[in-house]
Homo-oligomer: A and B are copies of this chain.
Amino acid sequence: MKTTFEIEVEAANQEFYKTFDSASLEAMERIWLHEDWVRCVHPGWDVLKGWREVRDSWGRIFGGDQKMKVSTDDVSVCRMGELALVTCIENIIVFEGADFDSMQAVATNVFIFREGKWLMAHHHASAIPVIIPDSASDNIQ
């Protein structure tokens, strides 16, 4: 049975991924902590530092021609004081006009409890390479 903490943090995590569907910068602003120490790593990007850079990145992503739909698998939540550390798999579908593509990423999401709400303070997502079955063993170092 899930604890209240787990239910609340999973809901905050889910809310984050729902904003990809809405592509709403205002929704993303409500989800994040607006402080200089927040960090964000999009798949293949360098580290973005501070809320201003993070906000700008979402503006660029949501302002582009691509739309995204993200669902999650294997969500794992751990409490550490006023922080929650989440890992999950992101199933991402990217739409551009009539075309679409899909990818999987793994994410580390850190939430902090402020003013009665779990706010995102850190997001690090990285692509999981597609493994072709015949060469699956090559991926294991």
Contacts and interface: CB of A to CB of B under 8 A. Distances in A.
Interface of A: 37, 39, 41-47, 49, 60-61, 64, 66, 74, 76, 78, 80-83, 85, 87, 89, 106, 108, 110, 112, 121-122, 124, 126-129, 139-141
A82 B47 CA distance: 23
A55 to B, nearest CB: 15
Contacts of A121: 80
A39 B45 CA distance: 22
B106 A141 contact: no
Contacts of A129: 44
Contacts of A37: 78, 85
